[in-house]
Copies of this chain bind each other. A is one copy, B any other.
Amino acid sequence: MKHLLIENERLTRQLDFIIEADRLKSVMRRSPLVDGSRPENTAEHSWHVALAALLLSGYANEPVDVARVVRMLLVHDIVEIDAGDTYAYDVSGNRDKVERELRAAARLFGLLPDDQAAEFRALWEEFEDRATAESRFANALDRLMPLLHNYLNDGRVWREHHVNAAQVRGRMAPVAEGSAALGDIVAAVLQNSLARGLLDEEMFVPAAAGEIE
């Protein structure tokens, strides 16, 4: 905290981290706001997806600790302060994503007192690994939200980035793994988007995109 002498070293580190975290508000995503007025930033996305978790946890495939899902979602994108938001369909950006995010996690969580650094890092790793019920449900929400935003903007961002239906289907596969009911929403959005021509099975895809899962 600039210019302030705070005798409590633990609190100083916590406040310094909280202030550094403000930069997540300047990390821009590809998905637009629902009203299409501008792209979404990662901080407000994190709020939105945590709010969705409060309301939709009843649809998780397995019983989940909602508070843990929310904590995970509040923390899951903080590494983007250093690593940036990597667009889901960006092949070259996704090649070194893991390395960039590991460096970011070390620096950013390292600002915190050791116990909280370990706690936040564990939440982030749990989210990334998709090995727990809470993580699978958190990932389902994290993938569903931009699908809704893109759909409600008539698929503009998909077309701008030459994204085809197979890519979206692959990207959205984890939604049903976390929640069958939300997986049904994905299926309905995809079907409707294809029917309305918002998304195309045959959209031209640059050669390297074959590497996308």
Contact = CB atoms under 8 A, between A and B. Distances in A.
Contacts of A34: 19, 22-23
A18 B185 CA distance: 14
Contacts of A148: 1, 15, 18-19
A23 B152 CA distance: 13
A47 interface: yes
Interface stretch (A6-14, A90-98, A157-165): A6-14
A54 B189 CA distance: 35
A26 B15 contact: no
Q: Please tell me how many copies of the chain the complex holds.
A: 2
A35 B37 CA distance: 23
Interface in A12-43: 14-15, 17-19, 21-26, 33-35, 37, 40-41, 43
Contacts of A22: 33-35, 48, 149
A132 interface: no
A108 to B, nearest CB: 12
A80 to B, nearest CB: 13
A155 to B, nearest CB: 12
A2 B71 CA distance: 30
A11 B181 contact: yes
Nearest to A4: B188
Contacts of A41: 44
A77 to B, nearest CB: 10
B55 A3 contact: no
Contacts of A175: none
A57 to B, nearest CB: 11
Contacts of A5: 188
Interface of A: 1-6, 8, 11, 14-15, 17-19, 21-26, 33-35, 37, 40-41, 43-44, 46-48, 50-52, 54-56, 59, 66-67, 70-71, 74-75, 112, 116, 148-149, 152, 181, 184-185, 188-189, 192, 196
